[in-house]
Amino acid sequence: MGTSKAKLLQGTLDMLILKSLMHGEMHGYGVAKRIQQLADEELTVEEGSLYPALHRLAQQGWISAEWGISDNSQRARFYNLTGSGRMQLETEEANWERLSTAVTRVMRSA
């Protein structure tokens, strides 16, 4: 992708946040860094997109949030994936697989 990084659609961002929380709780900055690392630095999640998405996912009951202290001794909100969040992630992954397969078919057509 060169020097420009991909921008994420809202639904895709929700799925990536849920996926990043599969292995335990993280604060918002940690979620953004985890997505960036897993994407080999090709995706960047901006604060202006991340925190509204975290709030939306919490309202839907897919993640829970509670205040704690980060590694650098700062007060931070930590997020966990809920049971319904795990089920939603399975749904999102299946939808993503169908969509990406369909797009690949179109892009490979003559």
Q: What is the DSSP string of 12-71?
A: HHHHHHHHHTTTS-EEHHHHHHHHHHHTTT-B---HHHHHHHHHHHHHTTSEEEEEEE-T
Q: What is the pLDDT of residue 11?
A: 78
Confidence band, pLDDT 50/70/90 cuts, at residue 2: very low
Q: What is the pLDDT of residue 7?
A: 52
Q: What is the pLDDT of residue 89?
A: 97
**pTM attached to this predicted model:** 0.86
Report pLDDT digits (tens) over 5-48.
Answer: 555 566 799 999 999 999 999 999 999 999 999 999 999 999 99
Q: Is residue 74 classed as helix, strand or coil in its secondary structure? A: coil
Segment (H or E) for 75: strand 75-81
Report pLDDT digits (tens) over 73-88.
Answer: 999 999 999 999 999 9
In order of their start, the domains of the chain are 10-108 (1.10.10.10)
Q: How far apart are CA 36 and CA 41, in angstroms?
A: 5
